[in-house]
Amino acid sequence: MQIESAWTENPVTLLQQRVLVSMSDDEIVEAVTVAGKLGTTPQEVGHAFDVLSQKGLVQKFSASLAATFTEEASCTPSGKSLVATWEAQRTPARIKQSCTGAMLSWLAAHEGERILSTEEFEGDVRAHFFGVPFSLEVLAESARELEVLDLIKGAKTWGGPVLRPSITSSGRVVAVHHGGDLVAWEVSKVSGGSTFNITNSTGVAVANNSPGATQTVTVTQEGARAAETLAIALERLLKNDQLTLEPLDLVNAYATSGELLEEARSSAPDPSRLRGLVEAVKVIGVNAAGSATGSGLIMMADQALTALG
């Protein structure tokens, strides 16, 4: 089952995810049992069995000749492998990243409607990470982050939920043009230019057509901005576990990200130091070049080096 995002707007897809997750640890499960766990009907679970079977993710069985729906099924090796892939992505950073994007999508879809609290998002189809509901803690943290970033507005509360929330114009841009991806939006915001997403990558965008300059002071300003963009992208990729690096390389990458961001945001950035740190990020990209995100870092580093002159 090809899933581009950890959350979905499609109730049918969500049910298939939930069914697959619920049965992955068992040999053979009954539709009645799964329906009881998920709060749905055996008939709907039976239909999910049928669809998942067509995709090679489950093997279905007929308990009786009189059955009007598939009553039993088991998870195939492919199904178990897919669930394992979902589980591997279930890190705190990845979950929160998905939750903020899903919550923005929800608010954009209900723009103009009266919503009392972001807690209402809990009941929406989008409020799941590969079939598993977002926790109340993650929901509260995501609402706070979106409010702090001015992507939603409303009344803040001590516990985290935002009362009477509504999406802002910036939030609408993130939801519509960046698919709820805060990384892509932040990179675009800092660079001040258009962006393009790296194929098959979640959480990185590459600045395109960065403006040049002819005066030394302008080059320094543009170079600092490009370096800041690169540092933000690297930090996000690291936090979201989207770079495959050896332990020592990972430690160095975190250090480089922090140093680059600090230098880029200083009152008088040192162009030679920025170049050295950007070159270090390029090496990080080379070490992770087996992934699209690694290749993206190399491209962004090259653009930053060009801006630095």
The pLDDT assigned to 13 comes to 93
Residue 175's φ and ψ, nearest 5 degrees, are -70, -45
Q: What angle do CA 259, 243, 55 make, to 5 degrees?
A: 155
pLDDT digits (tens, 9 = 90+) for 108-148: 999 989 999 999 999 999 999 999 999 999 999 999 989 98
Q: Which of the pair, 301 or 40, is modelled with greater confidence?
A: 40
Does residue 211 have a pLDDT over 50?
A: no
Q: What is the mean pLDDT of residues 156-174?
A: 89
Task: Note the CATH number of domain 92-177.
Answer: 1.10.10.10
Selecting from 3.90.45.10, 3.40.50.170, 3.40.50.720, 1.10.10.10, what CATH number does the domain 11-88 have? 1.10.10.10
For residues 257-264, give the mean pLDDT: 89
- Do the domains at 11-88 and 92-177 have one common CATH topology? yes
Cα→Cα distances 127→6, 68, 240, Å = 10, 32, 19
pLDDT tops 70 at residue 70: yes
Band of pLDDT at residue 306, cut at 50, 70 and 90: confident
Q: What pTM, to 2 d.p., does this model score?
A: 0.65
In the predicted model, is pLDDT for residue 26 greater than 50? yes
By C-alpha distance, which of 4, 2, 11 is closest to 98? 4
User: Distance of CA 249 to CAs 109, 238, 290, Å?
Assistant: 41, 11, 15
pLDDT of residue 208: 43
Q: How much is the pLDDT for 229?
A: 86
Query: pLDDT of 222-257, one tens digit each?
Result: 788 888 888 888 888 887 777 777 777 788 888 899
Per-residue model confidence (pLDDT) at position 188: 61
Encoded tokens for 153: 């507005």
CB atoms within 10 A of CB 204: 28
Flag whether pLDDT at 209 surpasses 50.
no
Q: What's residue 97's pLDDT? A: 82
Residue ranges of domains in the chain: 11-88, 92-177, 182-308
